């Protein structure tokens, strides 16, 4: 039994908020609620159980225009995301964020796109196709 093929249109992703808007358009269209802009929420979604993955043990995600998404979720978006976290030191580990920002500026840190790809890779029941 093969699951659904879900198509993410990477050309519509211009920032982190746009990534979650596209995730919600594709995965949450039949739900009466939306996924929050959170990597933990994305990870939970990809385990299945609700949204477009509900009832499907496997699925294919075809991410079109992935190069555009990679650029949009690259260093600039990641820097802004981390700097926003810095503004809430009681909620986030400031030292860890400083380390992440330093690595990002050196060119050795993960971008938001890199982290998203790790989240997808942690779900072997999902087959990610890109172009």
Complete domains list, the chain, with CATH: 1-73+112-131 (3.30.370.10), 75-110 (no CATH)
What tokens does 130 get?
């890109």
Question: What would the pLDDT profile of 22-81 be if each residue is shown by its tens digit?
Answer: 999 999 999 999 999 999 999 999 999 899 999 999 999 999 999 999 999 999 999 999
Question: What is the model's pTM?
Answer: 0.94
Question: What would the pLDDT profile of 93-128 be if each residue is shown by its tens digit?
Answer: 999 999 999 999 999 999 999 999 999 999 999 999
Q: CB–CB of 103/109 below 8 Å?
A: yes
Which residue has tokens 């991410």?
A: 63
pLDDT in the model for residue 65: 98
How many Cβ atoms are within 10 Å of 15's Cβ, its own excluded? 15
Which residue has tokens 């990610």?
A: 128
């Amino acid at each position: 039994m093969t699951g659904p093929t879900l198509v993410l249109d990477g050309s519509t992703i211009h920032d982190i908020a746009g990534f979650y808007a596209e995730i919600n358009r594709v995965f949450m269209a039949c739900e009466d609620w939306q996924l929050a802009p959170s990597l933990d929420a994305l990870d939970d979604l990809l385990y299945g159980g609700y949204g477009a993955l509900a009832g499907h043990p496997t699925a294919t995600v075809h991410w079109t225009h992935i190069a555009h998404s990679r650029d949009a979720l690259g260093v600039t978006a990641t820097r802004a995301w981390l700097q926003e976290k810095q503004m809430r030191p009681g909620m986030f580990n400031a030292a860890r964020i400083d380390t992440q920002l330093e690595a990002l500026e050196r060119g050795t840190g993960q971008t938001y796109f890199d982290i998203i790809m790790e989240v997808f890779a942690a779900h072997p029941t999902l087959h990610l196709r890109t172009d």
